[in-house]
């Protein structure tokens, strides 16, 4: 760390995180509890499992199976306060330009603000604009769902294909899968993101262009993958429909770039806008969610927004000791920076949330995968951990082994619901009993005595021992509804914000995406050139390019 003081992009000096009194207090405290076992912590306090919990917006968080005491939480709250988390939360909700490297406000919370709220940015009340777009989306979604919106040849739209990538894809895919139960079942929804032609071909091969609507989602409308796929989609449609005018009935755009949309040939009357203060990975509840709205209907979409908003309100107002996103964010800092955990596993015991870990990977890692503080000084501590996961119980039969008995500490978020959406015999009780059993096993393990008491002897004993003491959060809600999903996503958004504030990084830029993009542009010219290109890369890249060109040209 260069010196003790840092400055934010433009503001007052900020003390280096590891020099803060609260950080030092936590470091001292860590030495006293690092070897404490969850078995002991639970034995010492019979009410621990009821006390170390919090609840808001329909979501119950049990964090008692983390390696923390009341003192840990007290010190973490001190740290959050020293890092001015209260002020940062207020600044975000007010629309200050807290994304300092891009000089942008960060206002995804305005996307779910009620009509009566006013949030003024550059003299304009953004909430009015949000609701105007929501109205247009609702009208369009109703027309498509009811069949009033017809394709060019008069046929009803039966298929919707969202073309977008990153933030313009992962949210829509995740939420479509998550809320599929509530979706219009006589329609097909697909998502094309990859520039790999297979993605487009497999998404369209069995569909009729006369019945297919494309939503081109791109905030910038310049993204290579999305524009390449959008052109493929137009060619696919026009091969059957013949007439350029058909584009009006089969293509709509979601973008902030009206000019780019017109140039592509989409009527801006069929464009749904959003704003530069909505980051891609924070945009699933903006017009980027148009496919979601068509799938689940405007009412369900608004219910989802209400769930987001309920969690927003909780985050802004609840004391830190009862604040779900703050608690989860602080625990991630505790596990990462003090216990040196490198990853977080997210394990939904809900099939509909099968894409949730993939969605969270972008939200968490693009936001907090940063190596410098707000003023550009190199951080002297770890920032965002690796997020990954799969739905339970599938994961139990693959990678959980390492979580239980491996050498690494892997904190886990277990997510479950008390009521199933698709009752089948006793499946749901079996599912959730597995969730509870896993958190119990991870916390308490199996001692040598217990192994021996089970009849195991000799050299096999160490293989059968589970150390336990593996931290988990359990997130439990009544039922997977649009409201609950909104609250769950907002919970993670604000947990990410809490972490980023403590680490003093910009959670809202993504410069790391740029270098590869620029290099790929140059390389694509070299791959496509007819003459042998003069290559100026390193010897590995040069050889790979030559080999690719040689073998590609041998294709049948
Ligand atoms: C997200 C990122 C990134 C972005 C994609 C797509 O926060 O900004 O994932 O969403 O690169 O960008 P466009 O929507 O501009 O095509």
Other CB atoms within 10 Å distance of the CB of residue 247: 21
Phi first, then psi, for residue 344 (nearest 5°) are -130, 125
- 3-state SS, 66-107, equals CCCCHHHHHHHHHHHHHCCHHHHHHHHHHCCCCECCCCECCC
Q: Is 171 in the pocket of ligand 1 (CB under 6 A)?
A: no
Q: Is 260 in the pocket of ligand 1 (CB under 6 A)?
A: no
Nearest to 410 by CA among 462, 346, 355: 346
Query: Given ligand 1 and candidates 166, 259, 260, which is best to mutate, with the most ligand atoms within 8 Å of its CB?
Result: 166
Structure tokens at 170: 């992962």
> Residue 446 in 3-state DSSP?
strand
The β-bridge relationship of strands 271-273 and 251-255 is parallel
Q: Is 335 in the pocket of ligand 1 (CB under 6 A)?
A: no
> Residue 442 in 3-state DSSP?
helix
Distance CA 140, CA 271 (A): 11
Q: Which of 177, 225, 350, 366 is catalytic?
A: 366
Query: Tens digit of pLDDT per residue, the chain (556 long)?
Result: 333 444 444 455 678 999 999 999 999 999 999 999 999 999 999 999 999 999 999 999 999 999 999 999 999 999 999 999 999 999 999 999 999 999 999 999 999 999 999 999 989 999 999 999 999 999 999 999 999 999 999 999 999 999 999 999 999 999 999 999 999 999 999 999 999 999 999 999 999 999 999 999 999 999 999 999 999 999 999 999 999 999 999 999 999 999 999 999 999 999 999 999 999 999 999 999 999 999 999 999 999 999 999 999 999 999 999 999 999 999 999 999 999 999 999 999 999 999 999 999 999 999 999 999 999 999 999 999 999 999 999 999 999 999 999 999 999 999 999 999 999 999 999 999 999 999 999 999 999 999 999 999 999 999 999 999 999 999 999 999 999 999 999 999 999 999 999 999 999 999 998 888 788 888 999 999 999 999 999 999 999 999 999 999 888 8
Residue with tokens 């069995």: 206
Cα four-point dihedral sign 89, 90, 95, 96? negative
Q: Is 427 a catalytic residue?
A: no
**What is the pLDDT, as a whole number, of residue 211?**
98
**Partners of 6 in the β-ladder:** 14
**What is the pLDDT, as a whole number, of residue 1?**
34
> Which atom of ligand 1 is nearest to 166's Cα?
9
Q: How far is the CA of 253 from the centre of ligand 1 (A)?
A: 15
Q: Decide if 215 contacts 266 (C-beta within 8 A).
A: no
Q: Is 162 in the pocket of ligand 1 (CB under 6 A)?
A: no
Q: How far is the CA of 436 from the centre of ligand 1 (A)?
A: 37
> Which atom of ligand 1 is nearest to 226's Cα?
16
Q: How far is the CA of 423 from the centre of ligand 1 (A)?
A: 38
Q: Is 517 a catalytic residue?
A: yes
Question: What's the length of the chain?
Answer: 556
Cut 0.85: pTM above it: yes
**What is the pLDDT, as a whole number, of residue 518?**
81
Q: How far is the CA of 279 from the centre of ligand 1 (A)?
A: 8
Q: Is 255 in the pocket of ligand 1 (CB under 6 A)?
A: no
- Atom 5, ligand 1: residue with shortest CA distance: 166
Distance CA 320, CA 79 (A): 11
> Residue 388 in 3-state DSSP?
strand
**What is the pLDDT, as a whole number, of residue 13?**
62
- Spacing of C-alpha 107 from chain mean position: 16
Q: How far is the CA of 219 from the centre of ligand 1 (A)?
A: 7
Q: Which of 205, 371, 397, 554 is catalytic?
A: 397
> H or E segment at 473?
strand 472-479
What are the residues whose beta carbons fall under 8 Å from the beta carbon of 376, sequence distance 6 or more?
none
User: Buried b / exposed e across 196-235, counting CB within 10 Å, b at 16+?
Assistant: eeebbeebbeeeebbbbbbbbbbbebebebbbebbebbbe
Q: How far is the CA of 226 from the centre of ligand 1 (A)?
A: 10
Q: Is 428 a catalytic residue?
A: no
The radius of gyration of the chain's CA atoms, rounded to the nearest angstrom, is 25
């Amino acid at each position: 760390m260069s010196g003790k003081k840092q400055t934010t992009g433009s503001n007052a000096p900020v003390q280096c995180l590891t020099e803060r009194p609260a950080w030092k207090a936590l470091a001292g405290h860590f030495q006293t509890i690092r070897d404490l076992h969850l078995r002991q912590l639970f034995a010492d306090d019979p009410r621990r499992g009821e006390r170390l919990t919090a609840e808001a917006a329909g979501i119950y968080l049990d964090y008692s199976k983390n390696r923390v005491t009341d003192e840990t939480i007290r010190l973490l709250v001190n740290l959050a306060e020293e890092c001015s988390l209260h002020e940062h939360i207020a600044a975000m909700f007010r629309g200050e330009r807290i994304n300092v490297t891009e000089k942008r406000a960060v206002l995804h919370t305005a996307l779910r603000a009620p009509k009566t709220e006013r949030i003024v940015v550059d003299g304009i009340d953004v909430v009015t604009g949000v609701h105007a777009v929501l109205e247009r989306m609702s009208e369009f979604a109703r027309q498509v769902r009811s069949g009033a919106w017809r394709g060019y040849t008069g046929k009803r739209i039966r298929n919707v294909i969202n073309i977008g990538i990153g933030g313009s894809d992962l949210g829509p895919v995740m939420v479509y899968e998550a809320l599929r139960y509530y979706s219009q079942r006589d329609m097909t929804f697909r998502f094309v993101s990859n520039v790999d032609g297979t993605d487009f071909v497999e998404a369209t091969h069995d569909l009729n262009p006369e019945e297919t609507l494309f939503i081109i989602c791109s905030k910038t409308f310049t993204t290579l993958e999305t524009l390449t796929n959008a052109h493929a989609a137009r060619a696919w449609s026009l091969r059957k429909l013949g007439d350029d005018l058909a584009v009006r009935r089969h293509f709509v755009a979601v973008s902030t770039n009206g000019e780019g949309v017109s140039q592509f040939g989409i009527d801006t009357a069929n464009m749904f806008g959003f704003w530069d203060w909505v980051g891609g990975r924070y945009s699933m509840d903006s017009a980027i969610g148009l496919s979601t709205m068509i799938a689940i209907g405007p009412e369900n979409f608004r219910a989802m927004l209400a769930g987001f908003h309920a969690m927003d309100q909780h985050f802004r107002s609840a004391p830190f000791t009862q604040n779900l996103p703050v608690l989860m964010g602080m625990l991630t800092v505790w596990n990462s920076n003090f216990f040196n955990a490198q990853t977080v596993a997210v394990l939904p015991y809900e099939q509909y949330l099968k894409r949730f870990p993939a969605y969270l990977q972008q939200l968490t890692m693009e936001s907090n995968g940063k190596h410098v503080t707000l003023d550009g000084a190199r951080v002297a501590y770890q920032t965002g951990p690796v997020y990954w996961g799969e739905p339970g119980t599938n994961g139990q039969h693959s990678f959980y082994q390492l979580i239980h008995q491996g050498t690494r500490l892997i904190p886990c978020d277990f997510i479950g619901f008390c009521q199933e959406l698709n009752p089948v015999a006793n499946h749901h009780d079996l599912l959730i009993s597995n969730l509870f059993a896993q958190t119990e096993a991870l916390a308490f393990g199996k001692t040598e005595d217990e192994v021996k008491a089970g009849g195991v002897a000799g050299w096999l004993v160490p293989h059968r021992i589970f150390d336990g003491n593996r931290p988990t959060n359990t997130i439990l809600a009544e039922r997977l509804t649009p409201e609950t999903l909104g609250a769950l996503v907002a919970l993670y958004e604000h947990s990410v914000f809490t972490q980023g504030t403590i680490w003093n990084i910009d959670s809202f830029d993504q410069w790391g995406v740029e270098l590869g993009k620029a290099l790929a542009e140059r390389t694509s010219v070299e791959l496509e050139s007819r003459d042998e290109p003069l290559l100026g890369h390193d010897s590995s890249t040069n050889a790979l390019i030559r080999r690719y060109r040689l073998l590609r040209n041998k294709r049948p």
